[in-house]
Structure 1
């Protein structure tokens, strides 16, 4: 059974065709497909490129697709799901079943392979998503960068810019972030950042990468950067706590929390803060990292939706091809 798993976000979108044993037949990656940060015309072009690449790599597998599971950021509203489904419907083989869901499902399955749990995604955007033993689903956050993106790379990058201007105004302490980010944009005056940010077509894509300078500044002992990391970690932990209380109110067993996203490449900085918060709240939660990429979780979800069962070699086989 051929399944196309798609993991779509605010920066990149990846798709793979695989089977229930984890054998991979085609892999492709394109740009952003999150409706909260990209226009529909560009989203449709990205999907056209994705499907064209997959078909060119393996026409037989593409033509005989059984199920397409697309976990896409920004599709919580029914109308948003229908938009993506309509786009994919024009590109997919006629017999393929198309399922559109939140990208949190991909990420959760990448760590639990279908078991109940919570996933904390902290990439360009952020969301806390979970499924309990009764199949109930809830999410916290992920309402888009103009409203709420706590714990995201974008938020951390924006906080870095905020710290720079507080230091410039002498409303806050000096920070090494000023030099790092000024050099990043190849400017000499921090006030030039205003025109750069406000003239950007997609400011989130401009700001999110600045988060790396916060972690670099922490490594150099910058106190402002340390406080930004502490604040981000506490907000992430708070989201996990609130989702746990809603989804697992009478739970007594340990629940896995899958940590996904670029922010956790520096797990040494964030995990101790999150663990301390959760331990102080006496919550039976275990932080884990994904076994496979989120796009592999999309394949697992597609297999489950099709009524199939993952083979014992699924994890090893799929990681041979798509491991980060």
Structure 2
């Protein structure tokens, strides 16, 4: 507590692109401060960088200036059997840098905090994330009990931003060598790669970490909005993949389905397409901006 007797909690949503932190009053949930840091994927971000990114977000939110009773961090790659211990060590280290000593520090998977961000902070149902990567999960009593995809850029993340970026490059390569139809994606891809030649495009794809291809997903969205059939087809396929992830979780008609990430959050370019597909399953997606509100909600819960 500070001099006013108010208790504070912190929620974090550490994703593949950035880390968000929120400092809030424990009793009311009123936001006191927010902060941003670098990528927080517990599997792919080096340990020292992960500590630094978490500390950036926590410091900007004000976590070092007020006494914090509880911290809940949701991490991409932070599920059981994944990078949970690495995430816990990084979060503890970041809090120590700020001189914060909360009574409770809890690490969750990003799916758990995203689900808790849904309307009414639900305890049971489904969550689907589609941003840089993509994953679905079933949550029961606020714990993930089943997961689908989230297998990373090499093995999965079907329908994600990375998936769309990769498919955009493949579509342009096929248009260039005659294996596929012409597409308006060629012009922006050529500008990005420094020329519309196979060597340029392949060099761009292999010249940095593959996850960078997620940055191309907005090109697909813009081309589809302008009427390009190839780009629209990629968005349809991405939505099909994500709907398939939901189906694999054996949904029950009417149960909560919380969706988030750059592609499915409020106003997301795949939200309408997904809604059509899961509507056939008796589901209605509830989009949330991110999981930081859910992390705060979990931090405010009494210890069971």
TM range, smaller chain: 0.7 to 0.9
- 2:147 is aligned with 1:150: no
Q: Match of 1:296?
A: 293
Q: Match of 2:35?
A: 28
Q: What is the CA distance between 1:306 and its match in structure 2?
A: 3.8
Check the 8 A contact 2:13/2:73 in 1, yes or no: yes
- 2:47 is aligned with 1:40: yes
Partner deviation per Cα, 1:219-266 (whole Å, 9 max, x = no partner): 2221111211111111111111111x1xx5xx5x61121221111368
| Equivalent of residue 178 in structure 2, options 163, 170, 180 | 170
Question: For the structure 1 residues 265 and 185, does the alpha-carbon distance in structure 2 shift closer, same or farther, using more than 3 Å as the test?
Answer: farther
Quote the Cα distance in structure 2 between the aligned partners of 1:120 and 1:135.
15
Q: Match of 2:222?
A: 216
Question: For the structure 1 residues 266 and 301, does the alpha-carbon distance in structure 2 shift closer, same or farther, using more than 3 Å as the test?
Answer: closer
Quote the Cα distance in structure 1 between the aligned partners of 2:186 and 2:266.
21
Question: For the structure 1 residues 271 and 46, does the alpha-carbon distance in structure 2 shift closer, same or farther, using more than 3 Å as the test?
Answer: closer
Q: Match of 1:273?
A: 273
- 2:74 is aligned with 1:71: yes
Check the 8 A contact 2:42/2:84 in 1, yes or no: no
- Secondary structure, aligned partner of 1:264: coil
Give the TM-score of the pair, scaled to structure 1.
Answer: 0.82
Q: What is the CA distance between 1:88 and its match in structure 2?
A: 2.0
More helix by share: 1
RMSD over aligned Cα atoms = 2.4
Check the 8 A contact 2:175/2:182 in 1, yes or no: yes
Q: Match of 1:49?
A: 56
Q: Match of 2:169?
A: 161
Q: Match of 1:86?
A: 89
Q: What is the CA distance between 1:121 and its match in structure 2?
A: 0.7
Quote the Cα distance in structure 2 between the aligned partners of 1:90 and 1:149.
30
> Which has the higher mean CA deviation after the structures are superposed, 167-176 or 94-103?
94-103
Question: For the structure 1 residues 111 and 169, does the alpha-carbon distance in structure 2 shift closer, same or farther, using more than 3 Å as the test?
Answer: same
Number of corresponding residues: 292
Question: For the structure 1 residues 294 and 258, does the alpha-carbon distance in structure 2 shift closer, same or farther, using more than 3 Å as the test?
Answer: same
Question: Greater relative contact order (Cα 8 A, min sep 6): structure 1 or 2?
Answer: 1
Check the 8 A contact 2:123/2:142 in 1, yes or no: no
Partner deviation per Cα, 1:265-321 (whole Å, 9 max, x = no partner): 6858534433343344xx22112222x6421111001112546xxxxxxxxxxxxxx
Partner deviation per Cα, 1:76-119 (whole Å, 9 max, x = no partner): 24462111212222333334311111011121111131342211
> Which has the higher mean CA deviation after the structures are superposed, 170-179 or 220-229?
220-229
> Which has the higher mean CA deviation after the structures are superposed, 130-139 or 219-228?
130-139
Any gaps of 5 or more consecutive residues in structure 1? 308-324
